[in-house]
Structure 1
Amino acid sequence: MNPVLIVIVILAVILAVLLVVFFLVGRGEARFTFDIGGNAPKASGGSDTSSETGFKTRLNGLGVFSGSIIAVILARLWSMQLISSDDYAAQAESNRTRTISVDAPRGRILDRNGVELVTNRSSLAVMAKSDVADDEIEVKLLANLIGMPEMAVKRKVEDATTGAQNLRTVAVDVSRRVVAYVEEHPSLFTGVSIEQKTQRLYPNGTLCAHVLGYTGSITQEQVDKLDSDESESSIDYELGDTVGQAGVEYEYESVLQGVKGEQVVYVDANGSVLSQSSSVDPQSGSDVTLTIDATIQKAAEESLSSHIESLRAAGKTECYEGCAIAMDVTNGEIICMASEPTFSPSVFIGGISSDDWSALSSDDSHTPMVNRAISGQYPSASTIKPLSTFAALNYGIANVNSTYDCTGYWTGFGSAYGKYCWNHSGHGVLGLVGGITYSCDVVFYEIGKGFYYSDNKEGLQDTYKKWGLGSKEGIDLPGEAEGRVPDAEWKWNYYSSSDNDARQWQGGDDANLVIGQGDLLVTPLQMLCVYSGIALDGVTWKPHVLKSVNSNVGSGSVVEYKDSKLRTVDEQSEYMDLVHEGLSGVIYKESEAQASHFTNLSVQVAGKTGTAETSHTDPTGWFIAYAPSDNPKYVVASVIENGGFGSDGAMYVVRDILGAIYNEPDTSTEVDSSGVR
């Protein structure tokens, strides 16, 4: 009915009510008075309150009152019809239309050579209207057809996180049999349809899983966080959207996520869709090119996995975890980053099942979703010795000509506190170069003792921090750990439940710290950057996995990653030369068997082994190397947990990665049995 007619009817009713009140109540007012003696009534006198006069007064009042009401209503009616008509028309239109979001395909993730690491594929999905949940027969038929429990189907149909009018996704990747049956029996599935959607595809399986990450449905907390971003590139998110949850998918969500399309539909009073009005096509996200080389990445993962398995078969029963990472020292580009055990990102497509999540989270799985290359924290072991050498030289604890006599057992803090060198037979007289090459613990015990009794008691810590330990390197991946460089204050606070003597910094703390043991914790990425800086005489480039963001229209890139220096450490050239010589000796002099794996490589290599004692039966092995040593281009690091000495496993992984980089596989079959640390 027209709003004007409705107002007129209401106005007429109000006037009628007022007239009734007037004649029934107003005219019933008394015309006579009684005296106080209770005598017969008499006229009230000649006052001007006769019935005629009172009637006129009331009628005038009624007219003013009624006129005021009519004026207010007409003014409001004029406002509604003329001033606010557009607003009300828009509200009426919004009541009969709804806007439905149309998902946009995410951008692809490519390796440095254009190899697809993550792409998209078409998927046939069973979709249902919300009212299907009220039809028990249709729910039962649909459940039987796609092989899902009835309750699971009903819950999916009742899930309104994607919007009240949006179709609900019941199942994805359904078979052609299911599609054919639904389309051939429309009378049985009145509220069900088949739609083509896009899903993430990992053409190389688990390759590079920790770097790539995975996607999943957005949480309310993520919606609030992402929608609070007021930058120009901010995307409006709503529950039900698919977003990056880890790795590159998370780090570069803003460019991988496309712009959703919109579809305007007409609805009835119950919100049911009647027809389509208009639509805006979605825009796919931008492709991202990484610095990763898929070929080298594959070699790293295969080598890491196979050597861990070999070590376990050889009796290292707790050896399940490890990592490997390689970087271009001239610009910080990460060439490969492997972590073992790994996982398949595809299990998260469409939502991970409780069984799969339990498998990934159980103790038996050995935390496969942890990227140990950036999140793993370990004692550095002997890989720290080049930095300890710089500290000794810079703080006057030693000089380039200092020598030390290693008998295999050291009693620098008294016989009650004696400590073995890893070589119990002793190394004899060594200088700093020999101390690095043969990883002599006694040489560095003496350096630790020197710092304990010097005026620069935290010279070791200051040197380590100067080279980046104890802080994040800032790689463009989530989950990087910062490690720990212990000092006297940290120890006092950390061991607060111990007695005061145990909380004090002791000489033994320096003796442990100087060889990378005790409470020192570093990440493989940090040590990779340390050796990258050593390779370039103090200059370290910021590590990164992004190479460029590609245009989603045509070819070319929108953004090229700008390489930047992370830090520059000034060390005297004489000190640098000493460390370079010691690291070169590790490769070619420490062990003939070890050398055989590098003499068959066309470039010269420098590096360091490390063996970290832990609470486990077998130690954690390190190996870090850079090549060519005379003109450095690449640095490679590997850590294998509970796998024995660095030369037992990690060294082979590093050699395999260098072999993949230079296309020169390791041909040596010699095995080191000297226990190189």
Structure 2
Amino acid sequence: MDAQLIVIIAGVILVVAIIGSLLFLKGYSGKFTFDTANGTRPRATEGEGSTSGTKSNGRFKLLTAGVGAVFAAIIAKLWSMQMVSADHYDKLAEQNQTRTVTTPAPRGRILDRNGEAIVDNRASLALVAYRDLAENTVVVRHLANVLGMPYMAVLRNIQDNTEGAQSPHTIASDVRRSTIAYVVEHIDQFPGVSVAERTERSYPNGTLACHVVGYTGTVTQEQLDAQENLSDEVRAGSIDYQSGDIVGQAGVEYYYESLLQGIRGEQTVKVDADGNVTGQAGAVPAKAGSDIKLTIDLKIQRACEEGLKLGMEVAEQTGYEPTCGACVCMDCTNGEILGLASAPTFDPSVFVGGVSSDTWNELNDDEGDHPLLNRVIGGLYMSASTIKPFTSLAGMEYGVYTADMSSNCTGWWTGLGEAWGKKCWLETGHGTRNLETGIRDSCDVVFYDLGKNFFYSEKNPEGLQEMYRRWGLGAKTGIDLPSEAEGRVPDSAWKEEYRKDWSADQRAWNAGDMTNIAIGQGDILVTPLQMATAYCGLAMGGVEWTPHVLLSAVARDGEGDAYTYEPKKRLTAEISTAGALDVAYRGVHSMIYEESAVTAAHFTNLPVQVAGKSGTGEKDGEDPYGWFIAYAPFDDPKYVVCAMLERGGFGSTCAMPAVRTVLGALYDSPDDAAYTAGDSTR
């Protein structure tokens, strides 16, 4: 503010003050008259003397003094603004001429262990506008029509106050280029709307590994509300989300959000009186999120997914129609997941730019197959006969069924009385079987006897459940993926609580319950990953590593070193009984090569020896669930492969082809034996 302007302002104020004073004094003009007879000397008309005139004179002086004081104060303030606080007001003026807007940061890529992209980024275009556009209902409605979005959805995006008052609000992301072209060509119909460059997720391998990587989506209001409820200390170390931000919503995208999410930048732009951008005043560039490398090998991942498809095709030859399944390949020496497949799959690209309500409802239809469910970690199933090696270890460890004991299988077991008789899967019977041959042939009768002995044991009536838990069953494995299920190892306390509203007899744990879980049936529930991890522990003599999918992360520029995942031991299952593990080892090895010539034909053509176990879970009213788990090499274990098909029939028929396909990929030895149905075990 220059001196000339100060003088003008002061002059205006002085004139206003003088006019005000005259108007004030006018109120007293009617109280004086002129004595025409005696000249022009005024005289008071109210009483005698000059008392009233004296008072008026005093008021005038008082008013004059007041006006002078106010005028002096104004002059002093103007001088202060010009001479003392000029810099401060210059800065305020500059702020009124600029806007600070945020710029989104690209998410980090997701790569397989060899550096091949599973999830990448691609350039995309978004339509943005400032909040005041919401007042122009004609433009908002026109935008909704052009974008094919509900009017209220467009209005809500424009009015959203979490993107910052000075930042443009995202109206729509990943807009088709034809739509962008129309808006640009008819920009006069869309005042205040502009185009912003963004990055969106792309999937160069389609749906491959979709349950591992998950998907992204716009940050939800619930997530924003949760952020608001964080303490200042916690929030200081977390990402500050704004409405419209793209965040991980499932899989690796969700679990490693803090690594993948970038740090938004800021851009200070100059604007004119109408808010139009006229130039750039400064910028802090956005920082892309960290690229992360997974333990996944896309070659093995493809084998897991193709193996499930093959298993389903073989199952269809026997009259079953499986559509759901799981397959996982794990390095038993460190817990790395090389492949993880769940069927059916889903297309993560449908979430880019926002998933439609119809697609979302289809993906979550209760009558459907729930393709978003990662069955490897979230599906709960009876373990079936795959649990029998651990049942054997329990019997030997607690002495209720030792290695030199045997049972006679006629196909029908009456150990609890004829009324409670149970069948063996082989109705003609296996004859005499011990623990080793019981594992090989999956003879149910051996394990019925073992379960019965536990139930009537005075020292360790729940030793069987303890052994299952010793190997990690009934507990989360700790994998670095969200939504892992816990599973269940049932016992008397569980049944009492589960059936608390039933009668005392119905709540009581009984021998039938124990014989059921001894063969992996009944109320026991496991995930395929739990069984794979348990077999890793079995192969490694009791040592289980925590399964994980992260291998390393590349640090953001200028933010320190890259992160490398350090494998962690999950547990060590100690078996004190001498020779017990060897019994289990011989059982799972002979199951591959001695139980069935059909099964053996698919593994003798591998360059390594394999050990494994099949299983078939029975669920009332449904076709059986098929399992197959194997590890290799037998003499120096490195890999475990586990497959399960829902409603696929016998495990050695439907699940074994999936496992063999993965082993073939691991050892570059595809299976050349034909798949035939009928000659298989449970």
Instruction: Return the TM-score normalized by structure 1.
Output: 0.86
Are 2:604 and 1:603 equivalent residues in the alignment?
A: no
Closer/same/farther in 2, CA of residues 533 and 82 from structure 1, 3 Å limit: farther
Closer/same/farther in 2, CA of residues 153 and 409 from structure 1, 3 Å limit: closer
CA distance in 2 between counterparts of 1:604 and 1:282 reads: 53
Aligned to 2:650: 645
Aligned to 1:282: 286
Contact 2:297–2:338 at 8 Å: present in 1 too?
Answer: yes
CA distance in 1 between counterparts of 2:156 and 2:364 reads: 25
CA distance in 2 between counterparts of 1:101 and 1:213 reads: 27
Closer/same/farther in 2, CA of residues 430 and 274 from structure 1, 3 Å limit: same
Q: Decide which of 428, 432, 454 is 1:429's aligned counterpart.
A: 432
Q: Which amino acid aligns with 1:174?
A: R
Aligned to 2:119: 118
Contact 1:165–1:273 at 8 Å: present in 2 too?
Answer: no
Contact 1:593–1:672 at 8 Å: present in 2 too?
Answer: no
Q: How does 1:81-160 map to 2 (within 5 A)?
A: 92-127=93-128, 131=133, 134=136, 136=138, 140=142, 148=148, 151=151, 154-155=154-155, 158-160=158-160
Q: CA deviation at 1:95?
A: 4.0
Q: CA deviation at 1:247?
A: 0.6
Q: How does 1:345-494 map to 2 (within 5 A)?
A: 345-453=348-456, 454-494=458-498
CA distance in 1 between counterparts of 2:91 and 2:508 reads: 74
CA distance in 2 between counterparts of 1:64 and 1:339 reads: 90
Instruction: Give me the CA root mean square deviation.
Output: 3.8
Q: CA deviation at 1:547?
A: 0.4
Closer/same/farther in 2, CA of residues 673 and 11 from structure 1, 3 Å limit: farther
Q: How does 1:249-264 map to 2 (within 5 A)?
A: 249-264=253-268
Contact 2:140–2:154 at 8 Å: present in 1 too?
Answer: no
Q: CA deviation at 1:262?
A: 1.2
Are 2:206 and 1:201 equivalent residues in the alignment?
A: no
Q: CA deviation at 1:528?
A: 0.7
Q: Which amino acid aligns with 2:371?
A: P
CA distance in 1 between counterparts of 2:677 and 2:546 reads: 35
Closer/same/farther in 2, CA of residues 275 and 602 from structure 1, 3 Å limit: same
Closer/same/farther in 2, CA of residues 555 and 6 from structure 1, 3 Å limit: closer
Q: Decide which of 609, 624, 640 is 1:619's aligned counterpart.
A: 624
Contact 2:311–2:656 at 8 Å: present in 1 too?
Answer: no
Closer/same/farther in 2, CA of residues 551 and 171 from structure 1, 3 Å limit: closer
Contact 1:596–1:670 at 8 Å: present in 2 too?
Answer: no
Q: Which amino acid aligns with 2:495?
A: K
Aligned to 2:39: none
CA distance in 2 between counterparts of 1:270 and 1:577 reads: 83
Q: CA deviation at 1:76?
A: 8.9
Q: Decide which of 301, 315, 320 is 1:316's aligned counterpart.
A: 320
> How many aligned residue pairs are there?
653
Closer/same/farther in 2, CA of residues 462 and 66 from structure 1, 3 Å limit: farther
Contact 2:318–2:677 at 8 Å: present in 1 too?
Answer: no
The DSSP-based 3-state class of the residue aligned with 1:463 is helix
CA distance in 2 between counterparts of 1:344 and 1:51 reads: 97
CA distance in 2 between counterparts of 1:14 and 1:488 reads: 96
CA distance in 2 between counterparts of 1:485 and 1:327 reads: 23
Closer/same/farther in 2, CA of residues 83 and 502 from structure 1, 3 Å limit: farther
Closer/same/farther in 2, CA of residues 263 and 465 from structure 1, 3 Å limit: same
Closer/same/farther in 2, CA of residues 90 and 652 from structure 1, 3 Å limit: same
Closer/same/farther in 2, CA of residues 171 and 448 from structure 1, 3 Å limit: closer
Unaligned runs of at least 5 residues, structure 2: 32-46
Q: Decide which of 636, 648, 654 is 1:631's aligned counterpart.
A: 636
Closer/same/farther in 2, CA of residues 16 and 149 from structure 1, 3 Å limit: same
Aligned to 1:539: 543
Aligned to 1:673: 678
Closer/same/farther in 2, CA of residues 277 and 607 from structure 1, 3 Å limit: same
CA distance in 2 between counterparts of 1:385 and 1:165 reads: 62
CA distance in 1 between counterparts of 2:71 and 2:490 reads: 85
CA distance in 1 between counterparts of 2:598 and 2:620 reads: 29
Aligned to 2:176: 174
Contact 1:549–1:557 at 8 Å: present in 2 too?
Answer: no
CA distance in 2 between counterparts of 1:70 and 1:185 reads: 56
Contact 2:648–2:654 at 8 Å: present in 1 too?
Answer: yes
Closer/same/farther in 2, CA of residues 190 and 455 from structure 1, 3 Å limit: same
Q: Which amino acid aligns with 1:289?
A: K
**What are the superposed Cα offsets for residues 395-419 of structure 1, whole Å, 9 maximum, x if unpaired?**
1212221222222221222222111
Q: Decide which of 305, 328, 331 is 1:328's aligned counterpart.
A: 331
Q: How does 1:521-600 map to 2 (within 5 A)?
A: 521-553=525-557, 558-572=562-576, 573-600=578-605
CA distance in 2 between counterparts of 1:59 and 1:504 reads: 105
**Percent of aligned pairs sharing the same letter:** 48
The DSSP-based 3-state class of the residue aligned with 2:603 is coil
CA distance in 2 between counterparts of 1:242 and 1:377 reads: 31
CA distance in 2 between counterparts of 1:321 and 1:649 reads: 12
**What are the superposed Cα offsets for residues 122-162 of structure 1, whole Å, 9 maximum, x if unpaired?**
2244555663872737964x677x56368479547735454
**What are the superposed Cα offsets for residues 551-595 of structure 1, whole Å, 9 maximum, x if unpaired?**
445999701111111111111451111110111111112211111
Q: CA deviation at 1:197?
A: 2.4
Contact 2:129–2:158 at 8 Å: present in 1 too?
Answer: no
Aligned to 1:234: 238
Contact 1:248–1:477 at 8 Å: present in 2 too?
Answer: yes
Q: Which amino acid aligns with 1:605?
A: V
Aligned to 2:34: none
Closer/same/farther in 2, CA of residues 153 and 451 from structure 1, 3 Å limit: closer
**What are the superposed Cα offsets for residues 267-304 of structure 1, whole Å, 9 maximum, x if unpaired?**
46675545432222212111100000101111111221
Instruction: Return the TM-score normalized by structure 2.
Output: 0.85
Q: Which amino acid aligns with 2:303?
A: A
Q: CA deviation at 1:496?
A: 1.5
Aligned to 1:34: none
Closer/same/farther in 2, CA of residues 602 and 556 from structure 1, 3 Å limit: farther
Unaligned runs of at least 5 residues, structure 1: 29-42, 44-49
Closer/same/farther in 2, CA of residues 601 and 271 from structure 1, 3 Å limit: same
CA distance in 2 between counterparts of 1:243 and 1:622 reads: 36
**What are the superposed Cα offsets for residues 491-540 of structure 1, whole Å, 9 maximum, x if unpaired?**
11111221111001111111111111111111111111100000000011
Closer/same/farther in 2, CA of residues 65 and 333 from structure 1, 3 Å limit: same
